[in-house]
Structure 1
Amino acid sequence: MRCFAPQIICAMIGFGLLGSAKGLDEGLIATTVDLPSFIQEFKLHASNLSAAERANRLSNITSMVNLGCLPAAVLAFLLSDSISPLWMMRQLCVLWIVGVALVISSAGNYGQLLAGRLIVGLGIGQAGIIGPIYLAEIAPASWRGMLVGMYAASEYVGVLIGYFAGYGASLHIANDNNQQWIIPQSSQIVMAGFILIVSIGCVESPRYLCQKQRTDRATRALSRLRTHPEDSPEIRDEIESILQQTAHNATRQPGRSLLTSWKLLFGQSANRKRLLFLLSAQLLSQWSGTNAITTYAPKFFSILGMTGASEKLFKTAIFGAVKLASALLCALLFLDRLGRKRCLMLGITLQVLALLYVAIYLTALSSGSGGSASAHRAAIAAIAAIYITGVGYAFGWNSIQYLITAEMLPTAVRTLGTSLLMCVHYANRFALTKAVPTMMLADALQPKGTFWFFFVVALLGLLWGLFLLPETKGRKLEETSRLIS
């Protein structure tokens, strides 16, 4: 590769920023539900509701996008055979914009707010399938970790924008003005529009074109991506490798259809093992709790002693900046150098230690040991530990989960397998964001029990990575799936 081709740069920006869609929603909703104007407009603190009913109303709002993401993952698979990844990216941006328009025009209508957030989920839920697969398919082996890592890192670009948008609105817009929450939410329309514009500079995936028997177009696309002439040995060899894999798949599933894709994924022992392996990764990553901390960050900071609304939102915004810096550092410097396994081990170790400290602190706090200078220092350390959980997750699970999904599944079942895994991913995110407000109630696990739960799951994830995760660094995409067979 002579240099970064313009098409690679557009792919890094356009498909890479698809990861920001989920992060932007999480960052915005985390701060929005803490803004006085939103709380008043949607009656989140209504005195006629019990604590459990208020927790349920809050969790419905925060989790509705994750619920919409479930059918979105299935929709992405159903469309993938007839619509290219490039055009799928464009249609999801349109759905995203429509959903946000419903949200910001809801004017206190609780049902319309939920419907709009559901449609937002139908759009951005497809991003987790389209983004990593496209980036993995166009990337050279030596850059694949970085490109897919950029998708994972961009989630925190969205989180950071969402956090600071909410923080800025809390400072500069009056609490009785609904523009305080509408203007931050509108930033999603700007992001979706920007991605649509950048998509003009992207090319179709050569692997998708080869599957559709458009070899000439695939060769031209690969030539533009690699900045080599179409008749160069490098381009001929890579196209030949893709065609061989495509032909191999065709002989194993002639007359490919939806049914044969399911048979190939579940009928072959090797593919079932890959699916179970990746399924366990999704369960362990989600229930380690960091995404819940992202969604409810202001409330967690309140539990740890932050009192002022602006102070909580500012600490939340800094949390987003820390996670973004960590994810970018991992994607740009470590994934393709240290490898996937070492990055995951480093990240989960940080996460485990930080969650353990917060759990111990909250346990001590609940026993009544507070108010002293040492207790104040312990509270500051607990806030720092929350930041460290973000660093650990950004280095570990967030950088690895999308990458190994794209790498471990063979081309023939990659889209179906990724769609099913993203269904599991979004189902768990929905369950987690729905459950956490209830988990933290006084008659449930309480904050201390919630963090002990997260700690145990993170520890299991550490053992999973240590004993089960193979290293895929530097291997061709056609080779990585054979590591679990």
Structure 2
Amino acid sequence: MYKAALAETPQEAFNWRLIYSVICFGLMGAARGLDEGLISTTVAQESFIQAYGLDPKVYGEDATAQKQGNITSMVQIGSVAGALIAFIACDKLGRIWATRQLCLIWIIGTIVYITANGNYGQVLAGRFVMGIGIGQTTVVAPAYLVEIAPRSIRGMCMCIFSGSVYLGIMLGYFASWGTSIHISNKSQKQWVYATILHLLFAGIILILSIFVLESPRWLAKVGRKEKAIANMCKLRQLPADHPYVQAELIDIEDQINREREASMGSGFLGPLKELFMIPANRYRIFLGLMCQLLGQWSGGGSITIYAPKFFALLGTTGQSEKLFATAIFGVVKFASAIICAFFLVDFLGRKRSLNIGIILQAITMTYVAIYLTAVPQVTTGGIQSTTAKHAATGAIVAIYLSGVGWALGWNSIQYLLGAEIFPLRVRSLGTSIIMTFHFVNQYGSSKAVPLMLLQDSMKPQGAFWFFAAVTFMGLGFVWFFLPETAGKSLEGMDEMFNLPWHIIGRKGAALTEGQGSVSDALGRGTGKEAVEFGDVEQAEHPHGDKRADV
């Protein structure tokens, strides 16, 4: 399917304007990555620990775990609100203006955060406002990227976003490591200077958005037909009468017409009713929510956020050493995300790439769980035998490999799937609901993990057994429920999701190969004469009944 889709994509479609747009919106992934990379290392820096009362020897383990969890997870709470706001911003303002307003919110929150000067409440407030902006990126950017990308490279374009998450993580890790070496532990500049990266990225994206074209699909949805055609031609660098451009426009028009007829008279609640009353859409929501639930509790994201703590549990001592090990962890994840974007997610398909990542993550989580169960004294600094020290090295390697599995698996699919499976009319709402659920679960896991690791709770070994169990559950879910979406047009997925629910995941892609879009029925890519933009009316309504114009 991938090779066929790539073969029918004209070379002109892979052009500088598309690349520029993908870079602009793809960079928004760095918003989340920067926060995860910076906050995980910031709470391990002595200057921050002393300024905000995070020393367990002074304030007690339970109190500091609660406080650290509050600071770390406040962005996730704000992101819940941001993901909900993004639905309205995306649909009412468009993808570009939604981007500009979220960048401004992101900047304001960062300024409030870095000027706290020891004020715990201001830190929480600033990080909450940051979260409102950062949370919107996970809805706005994926929606735009899947709408402008040729279907043959849609997965790769979306993985630029997920790859940027790791670019942000890596830069955040290295920035904190660098400031820990060159700035005194007694100065708050140690963490403030690193956090300025947020302002840099928000400013770059804001400036880049000035020269980006609005999504043709959103323009068509709001009735700006001529502008939609013009933007599609610019993005593909092809004339309006080219068969490839016409095929995309026909599919867009057909879906909008069908959705308008289906929602006639339903008013403001129309998209919400469509999302939960239509069986195919309910299955889409189920897929998206389960991917977020299983992904966020599999441990991959938790290890990213609390990487220095996990390396300390496995015997890495010293602030600089822990931060350096964490920085290398960021490099490993970033490299894995790039490999996934360019070589796996479109070529092997979403499902195979996800399976590879989950299997690798499951093996590594199980190894660490076994090691910590066999050598529990390592978590409390106890003396180890030579054999145990070798096993500890293996456990540290397993942490790195779990990062590879997370980058290839759940982290890539959690953004891509939610954005590409929904029909245009409910895409923003569906993605918004899924990403809201994402941040609720990320908040839950980031708040719970410090408490799970305590000796009077699950202990470190119990936490890793939990992660391993969730990961194996995810493998079963993917095999039975998740369909392959690589190579299918956004409008062409309806056929697959209209199949009986129990065969969508296992056989859906094979049963609907080459089906599901009007352009296929009209001879897309077969050498037949190009059709006019309005021919979809005749193809769908041969008896002459009229449909709403785009």
Do the structures match in fold with TM over 0.5? Answer: yes
CA drift of 1:64 comes to: 0.2
Asked if 2 retains the 8 angstrom alpha-carbon contact of 1:10 and 1:199, the reply is no
Equivalent residue number for residue 435 of structure 2: 422
Equivalent residue number for residue 406 of structure 1: 419
Please give the alpha-carbon distance, in whole angstroms, between the structure 2 residues aligned to 1:201 and 1:83: 17
What runs of 5+ residues in structure 1 fail to find an aligned partner? none
Aligned AA (1:408): I
Structure 2 residue 345 is matched with structure 1 residue 335: yes
Asked if 1 retains the 8 angstrom alpha-carbon contact of 2:91 and 2:428, the reply is no
Aligned AA (2:397): A
CA drift of 1:303 comes to: 0.3
Structure 2 residue 250 is matched with structure 1 residue 237: no
Equivalent residue number for residue 16 of structure 1: 26
Aligned AA (1:78): I
Asked if 2 retains the 8 angstrom alpha-carbon contact of 1:5 and 1:224, the reply is no
Structure 2 residue 15 is matched with structure 1 residue 2: no
Structure 2 residue 370 is matched with structure 1 residue 348: no
Q: How many residues align?
A: 485
Asked if 1 retains the 8 angstrom alpha-carbon contact of 2:41 and 2:323, the reply is yes
Structure 2 residue 446 is matched with structure 1 residue 433: yes
Structure 2 residue 416 is matched with structure 1 residue 375: no
Inter-CA distance 347–190: structure 2 relative to 1 (3 Å threshold):
same
3-state SS, counterpart of residue 426 of structure 2: helix
Please give the alpha-carbon distance, in whole angstroms, between the structure 1 residues aligned to 2:391 and 2:494: 46
- CA offsets 1:321-361 (integer angstroms, 9 cap, x no match): 00000011001111111011110110000000000000001
Aligned AA (1:124): I
Equivalent residue number for residue 446 of structure 1: 459
Asked if 2 retains the 8 angstrom alpha-carbon contact of 1:102 and 1:113, the reply is yes
Asked if 2 retains the 8 angstrom alpha-carbon contact of 1:166 and 1:184, the reply is yes
Q: Which moved more, 1:474-483 or 1:322-331?
A: 474-483
CA drift of 1:483 comes to: 2.3
Structure 2 residue 91 is matched with structure 1 residue 81: yes
CA drift of 1:370 comes to: 5.4
Structure 2 residue 300 is matched with structure 1 residue 300: no
CA drift of 1:46 comes to: 6.3
Equivalent residue number for residue 184 of structure 1: 194
Which structure has the greater CA radius of gyration? Answer: 2
Aligned AA (1:393): W
Equivalent residue number for residue 230 of structure 2: 220
Which of 270, 286, 289 is the matching residue for 1:279?
289
CA drift of 1:201 comes to: 2.4
CA drift of 1:103 comes to: 0.7
Please give the alpha-carbon distance, in whole angstroms, between the structure 2 residues aligned to 1:327 and 1:423: 23
Please give the alpha-carbon distance, in whole angstroms, between the structure 1 residues aligned to 2:57 and 2:341: 47
Equivalent residue number for residue 519 of structure 2: none
Q: Which moved more, 1:21-30 or 1:275-284?
A: 275-284
Please give the alpha-carbon distance, in whole angstroms, between the structure 1 residues aligned to 2:75 and 2:462: 26
Equivalent residue number for residue 67 of structure 1: 77
Structure 2 residue 468 is matched with structure 1 residue 460: no
CA drift of 1:9 comes to: 1.4
Which of 47, 52, 57 is the matching residue for 1:42?
52
Please give the alpha-carbon distance, in whole angstroms, between the structure 2 residues aligned to 1:201 and 1:230: 22
CA drift of 1:414 comes to: 1.2
Please give the alpha-carbon distance, in whole angstroms, between the structure 2 residues aligned to 1:370 and 1:315: 22
Q: Which moved more, 1:268-277 or 1:324-333?
A: 268-277
CA drift of 1:230 comes to: 2.5
CA drift of 1:18 comes to: 0.8
Please give the alpha-carbon distance, in whole angstroms, between the structure 2 residues aligned to 1:380 and 1:122: 40
Q: Which moved more, 1:365-374 or 1:290-299?
A: 365-374
Asked if 2 retains the 8 angstrom alpha-carbon contact of 1:288 and 1:458, the reply is yes
Please give the alpha-carbon distance, in whole angstroms, between the structure 2 residues aligned to 1:128 and 1:482: 27
CA drift of 1:473 comes to: 1.4
Aligned AA (1:82): K
Asked if 2 retains the 8 angstrom alpha-carbon contact of 1:339 and 1:471, the reply is yes
Q: Which moved more, 1:272-281 or 1:57-66?
A: 272-281
What runs of 5+ residues in structure 2 fail to find an aligned partner? 1-9, 499-550
Which of 211, 214, 217 is the matching residue for 1:201?
211
Please give the alpha-carbon distance, in whole angstroms, between the structure 1 residues aligned to 2:90 and 2:73: 26
Aligned AA (1:411): L
Equivalent residue number for residue 543 of structure 2: none
Asked if 1 retains the 8 angstrom alpha-carbon contact of 2:155 and 2:486, the reply is yes
Which of 43, 62, 79 is the matching residue for 1:52?
62
Structure 2 residue 267 is matched with structure 1 residue 254: no
- CA offsets 1:24-61 (integer angstroms, 9 cap, x no match): 10000011001111111111116553321110000000
CA drift of 1:235 comes to: 1.8
Equivalent residue number for residue 220 of structure 2: 210
Aligned AA (1:395): L
Please give the alpha-carbon distance, in whole angstroms, between the structure 2 residues aligned to 1:481 and 1:55: 47
- CA offsets 1:260-290 (integer angstroms, 9 cap, x no match): 1111111112211221122111111110011
Inter-CA distance 263–157: structure 2 relative to 1 (3 Å threshold):
same
Please give the alpha-carbon distance, in whole angstroms, between the structure 2 residues aligned to 1:377 and 1:370: 13
Asked if 2 retains the 8 angstrom alpha-carbon contact of 1:7 and 1:201, the reply is no
- CA offsets 1:87-127 (integer angstroms, 9 cap, x no match): 10111111000000001100000000000000000001001
Please give the alpha-carbon distance, in whole angstroms, between the structure 1 residues aligned to 2:495 and 2:24: 30
Structure 2 residue 330 is matched with structure 1 residue 320: yes
3-state SS, counterpart of residue 262 of structure 1: helix
Asked if 1 retains the 8 angstrom alpha-carbon contact of 2:289 and 2:437, the reply is yes
Equivalent residue number for residue 140 of structure 1: 150
Asked if 2 retains the 8 angstrom alpha-carbon contact of 1:408 and 1:482, the reply is no
3-state SS, counterpart of residue 15 of structure 1: helix
Equivalent residue number for residue 268 of structure 1: 278
Structure 1 runs (4+) deviating above 4 angstroms are 367-370
Aligned AA (2:172): G
Please give the alpha-carbon distance, in whole angstroms, between the structure 2 residues aligned to 1:259 and 1:55: 42
Asked if 2 retains the 8 angstrom alpha-carbon contact of 1:89 and 1:127, the reply is yes
CA drift of 1:156 comes to: 0.2
Inter-CA distance 483–168: structure 2 relative to 1 (3 Å threshold):
same
Aligned AA (2:176): G
Inter-CA distance 256–205: structure 2 relative to 1 (3 Å threshold):
farther
CA drift of 1:481 comes to: 4.2
Asked if 1 retains the 8 angstrom alpha-carbon contact of 2:41 and 2:308, the reply is yes
